[in-house]
Amino acid sequence: MDATTPVAIARPGTGPQPQGHPPLEARRVGVLLLNLGTPDATDFASMWRYLREFLSDRRVIETPRWKWYPILYGIVLNTRPRSSGANYDKIWDRERNESPLRTITRSQAEKLQQAFAGDERILVDWAMRYGNPSTESVMQRMLAQGCDRILAVPLYPQYSASTTATANDQVFSALMKMRNAPAVRTLPPYYDEPAYIEALAHSIERFLGTLDFQPEMVLASYHGLPVSYFQKGDPYYCHCQKTTRLLRERLGWPAERLLTTFQSRFGKEEWLQPYTDKTVERLAGEGVKSMAVITPGFSADCVETLEEIADEVAEVFRHAGGVNFAHIPCLNDTAEGMSVIETVVRRELAGWI
């Protein structure tokens, strides 16, 4: 054999080893569910740490640092931790001492692991982009447990640089610190995935069947995004519109029955419109008495759905003359929600298992 002869090298644990070679541990494929993040507690210090990490992300706030940091450290981080902490406090799980987002994301990972029961090659774990458990710490744990390949699964159906991309950023940032880095794939957005649309439709039909009123309107409320981000090429707005259209077609509803709106504005910049709170106020003023809101862009209920929609927006609607208001829960870890996650994960694992 000369220097130009190719040599087949088996992946550790998958092929024959030379005689006398010490046994190698079988390698595994990791599935890492990634969600936005959550503070560790609702007190000022915990909220300050969480908001500093979140609002220092260049993917989230694209304003130049020299202009943004004086505002962040001089105003925002001196005032917002109290108001945000009060909002989190309304939905905080006292028994577990954690936010619903952490509880649900953990359960999603546990149920996905159960879906792969019997296949020791697959290890499922979960992490947060901001807060704990951090993406880096969980990836290190997965590496230590034998994962030499990891599928990163940002749980955002619609792609945005401020959500999907920044979650992936953390994955690749962690890789940069690893000597023996695993191979990585990232899950594409699944805003038009048939299983996702079907799950949303089924959840709406099932939930509306439990109400003692019939909503005249249903809003599909997505997290907002500055218009400037869309103008720079972010596809998020288009993804949201397509999700709503496909959902409307699946339900067989007319255009005026299911509307797309955007919530959670921050700062003075113009954000994607129509705004959820303004739309609710307008519709109530026009005589709409019964309404429901679904939040298709959130894979798990969190402060933006449980407090902002179910509490604040509901109050806006009733104050403007509305009577009946319902928040349709996210897919969460329901059978429908888990079918979506399992479907897209199994598809992206093709060739690895």
List of domains in the chain? 28-190+335-348 (3.40.50.1400), 194-328 (3.40.50.1400)
Sequence-ordered list of residues with C-beta below 8 angstroms from that of 134, at least 6 positions apart, any chain: 127, 128, 170
**How does residue 295 score in pLDDT terms, banded at 50, 70 and 90?**
very high
Radius of gyration of the chain (CA): 22
CA distance 254 to 136: 46
Q: With 70 as the cut, is the pLDDT of residue 220 above it? A: yes
Binding residues for Fe(2+): 223, 304
**How does residue 9 score in pLDDT terms, banded at 50, 70 and 90?**
very low
Give the residue-averaged pLDDT of 188-202. Answer: 98
Q: Residue 15: what pLDDT? A: 60
Q: With 80 as the cut, is the pLDDT of residue 218 above it? A: yes
CA distance 176 to 63: 26
Q: Residue 8: what pLDDT? A: 34
pLDDT tens-digit series, residues 123-148: 999 999 999 999 999 999 999 999 99
Q: Are 158 and 297 in contact (CB under 8 A)?
A: yes
Which range has the worst mean pLDDT, 9-13, 40-44, 59-63, 92-96?
9-13
pTM of the model: 0.92
Binding residues: 223, 304
CA distance 128 to 98: 13
